[in-house]
Amino acid sequence: MGSKESIDDQMLIELAKSGDQDAFSELVMKHRSKVVNWVKSITHDAYLAEDIAQDALLRSYFHLESLDHADRFLPWLRSIVRNKAIDALRKNNRKTLYIQQFIYPTFPLTLYFPGTCSL
């Protein structure tokens, strides 16, 4: 990231922290594609990536005050994105496991989910 972009981000973050919603909207417009790509790299699902990206950006807005150093915005945002993506995958895996158990109760799940259950 160039220094001009970093300075612009820092200024937008400080404005957003003081309650300027337009400043945060500008940050979202600048970094939304990065956020979606980060999620896609974890989930490998474009539709899920959009949902998780939206959720992560919303979380970052509500927790912006916890960001101590504006120059660390992107690493901070990336950690939120990563955690949200991992949580979604865990949740999705539990749903898949439950559906498999419900639909195919006698089918050995270890074929689809090695190491997740013992027979």
pLDDT at 36: 97
Long-range contacts of 17-21 (CB under 8 A, 24+ apart): 17/64, 17/65, 17/67
Reported as a single tens digit per residue, the pLDDT across 64-86 is 999 999 999 999 999 999 999 99
Q: Report percent pLDDT > 90 for the chain.
A: 65
* pLDDT above 80 (res 103): no
Helix ranges (DSSP H) in the chain: 3-17, 21-43, 46-62, 73-103
Say if CB 59 and CB 80 are below 8 A apart: yes
Integer CA distances (angstroms), 3 to 6, 62, 91, 95, in order: 5, 26, 39, 44
pLDDT at 91: 86
Q: Is the pTM of this model over 0.75?
A: no
